[in-house]
Amino acid sequence: MMYNYEALSRIYDEYMSEYDYAGVLERVLPLFKARGVKRVMDLGCGTGTGSLMLYEAGLSVSALDISPGMLAKAKDKALEKNYRIEFYQGDMKDFELNRTFDAMVSLTDGFNYLLTEEDVRRALRSIRKHLHPGGWLFFDMSTIYKFKEVIGERTFAQTGEDNAYIWENTYRGEDQILAFFITIYQKEKEDLYRRYEEYHEQRGYPVELMAGILDKEGFEVVQITGSGENLESSERLFFLARLRDAGEEI
């Protein structure tokens, strides 16, 4: 399924305001520094908040997103700070940049938008083509627990200075899909708002299934941690994996 994300890009920073970018990146930046990581790709970069933080950590950063609207905002942020970040439009399941990186990161549920196991495998194969042997992959995912117990079957609303949105969730237990419909009201001038609507789906994956796919696609799972006291009750999981060198057993 394809999404255009254009409506979501209008309120994305407000929508993700509770996401702790700095805290999430702190889980991996010390390792990057210790292992001499220099060149990083930010997959599904959205409006570029994480990309800018990676750059501020002293890394050479490239960033990819499927949405022109998200990329436009990300480029504006980088330009405003005079940061030299290369942005690309593309699908994480099938991108070709003819270059390789020391590490790749994917924050804010990029992997949840991979709705089938084959989608995950395709994304990992694209990632594998663009990583140096021994390169690192770090990504996070919202959990089945979060979809089922925390936000499934709930509606959220938020009002800002220039916009408002309503976010309606439905969780399908049979295929572990969170379907959500977002209605956005964007202020254009005094007392005039334009309405935008978007439908999205995300899938939650059991930890063992995701770890198994990583292993079969040539990645050594180094660490899996959660945002809560244990993986079962965490709303977000963090995967750290390393691309095996040629000749290493799979």
Rounded CA-CA distance 18/75 in Å is 22
Contact 222, 137 (CB under 8 A): no
**Three-class SS state of 154:** coil
**Three-class SS state of 238:** strand
CA-nearest of 183, 203, 181 to 11 is 183
Q: Which residue range forms the structural domain that includes residue 40?
A: 6-143+205-243
| Per-residue pLDDT at 3 | 58
| Per-residue pLDDT at 156 | 94
Q: Which long-range contacts (CB under 8 A, 24 or more apart) does 1-4 make?
A: 1/115, 1/201, 3/66, 3/113, 3/198, 3/199, 3/200, 4/67, 4/69, 4/198
- Flag whether 226 is in a domain: yes
pTM of full prediction above 0.75: yes
Token digits of residue 183: 């209605």
| Per-residue pLDDT at 208 | 98
Rounded CA-CA distance 22/49 in Å is 10
| Per-residue pLDDT at 247 | 59
CA-nearest of 30, 46, 19, 48 to 103 is 30
Q: What is the CATH number of the domain that holds 20?
A: 3.40.50.150
- Statement to judge: residues 58 and 123 lie in one domain: yes
- Statement to judge: residues 211 and 111 lie in one domain: yes
- Statement to judge: residues 81 and 124 lie in one domain: yes
- Statement to judge: residues 120 and 177 lie in one domain: no
For the chain, which residues score pLDDT lower than 50? Answer: 2, 250
- Statement to judge: residues 98 and 88 lie in one domain: yes
- Flag whether 121 is in a domain: yes
